[in-house]
A = this chain, B = another copy of it.
Amino acid sequence: MENNEAPSPVQMFQTLTAYQDTGALKAALDLDLFTAIGEKGATAAELATRCEAAERGIRILSDYLTVLGFLEKKADRYHLTRDSATFLARNSPAYAGGAAEFLLGDHLTQAFANVAAAVRKGGTVLANGGSMAPEHPMWLSFARGMSWMMMPGAQALAEIAALDPTRATKVLDISASHGIWGLSFAQHNPRTRVVALDWAPVLQIAWENAQRMRLTARFSMIEGSAFEVDFGRDYDVILLPNFLHHFDPPACVHLLRKCHAALRENGRVAIVEFVPNPDRVSPPDAATFSLVMLVSTERGDAYTFAEFEQMLRDAGFTSIEQHSLPPGISTAIIAEKA
């Protein structure tokens, strides 16, 4: 025994009720409570008016959020913390509450309602292969709500995999989603054109982001499945951001070979992934991602660097290297066409 304290059921209890924390934060976003609190703070009575809710309900929810650390309570006034003001108030430029639409969408909540069934089967029990169903609406939620999480990594990747500025270059962004990964390359390189590939409804959001970033002149799109469409050819870089984890290694190798064929000589693939250490239980964010894939896809997983190395070699790549991307959750794996 490493310590002499009595065994404790506290963590079991906290984990069995953790879903209640999720429910409380979701409610605050649904009610736009953080925006209503604003810079000056507010009482439950004031918030009840602003959120069109019962004062008693607001008081109890706000107390709960104070316990969780999302609010501070002084006398009977609730105030935003710095993190809440930055990420949870809708008028903040860094507002990230849109993530709730994806993270709490039916697809994921249904998948996590019966994890045991997926463990028994070894893959999702959702209809049509879960999140891999063609044009699954969850990817609209993802593109709308999750792009903010990708921005720091996308900016870093465009520098890590820098393109030759002295000539015209071309980037293919596979499973482009919001388009931020590819658009960051176009932003960094005035002579780079970007081709975004995804389901048609999702590309609408990438197009809007291209408009917002004033990059439509160097932005084009391919609609459909990466396994089926023609990629075109002579790309300098092909991006695979958060895509390979949905598939088993043979499917990944198949796709990497298709990328290999579409690259110019010495062209590179840049994979962005949650990459666990060889022990598969660290770091936490990458290691826990495997379960998301188990319950929501048929054969997906979070692969280690050694597994990606093997897949890339099998597909004909060389000079394989990895770079941690900010804010420290994702890893870029870059490899060259041999």
A30, CB-defined interface residue at 8 Å: yes
Are A12's CB and B287's CB within 8 A? Answer: no
- Mask of A282-307 contacts with B, CB within 8 angstroms, 1/0: 10100110111111000001000000
A54-B122, A119-B27 given; A281·B18 CB < 8 A: no
Are A22's CB and B11's CB within 8 A? Answer: no
CB distance from A309 to the nearest CB of B (A): 20
A279, CB-defined interface residue at 8 Å: yes
- Mask of A115-128 contacts with B, CB within 8 angstroms, 1/0: 11011111100000
CB distance from A63 to the nearest CB of B (A): 5
In the bound complex, CA of A327 to CA of B17 (Å)? 18
Are A54's CB and B17's CB within 8 A? Answer: no
Are A22's CB and B31's CB within 8 A? Answer: no
Q: What bracket does the count of chain A residues touching chain B fall in? A: 35 or more
Are B87's CB and A9's CB within 8 A? Answer: yes
Residues of chain B with a CB closer than 8 A to A18's CB: 18-19, 21-22
Within 8 Å by CB of A15, from B52, B68, B120, lies B68
A313, CB-defined interface residue at 8 Å: no
Within 8 Å by CB of A120, from B53, B97, B114, B116, lies B53
Q: Which of A99-107, A206-214, A232-240, A265-273 lies on the face that meets chain B?
A: A99-107
Are B16's CB and A19's CB within 8 A? Answer: no
Are A122's CB and B56's CB within 8 A? Answer: yes
A1's closest neighbor in chain B, by CB? B82
Please name 8 pairs of A and B residues whose Cβ atoms are closer than 8 Å in the assembled complex, sorted by A: A7-B87, A9-B83, A16-B26, A16-B104, A27-B114, A54-B119, A60-B290, A66-B287
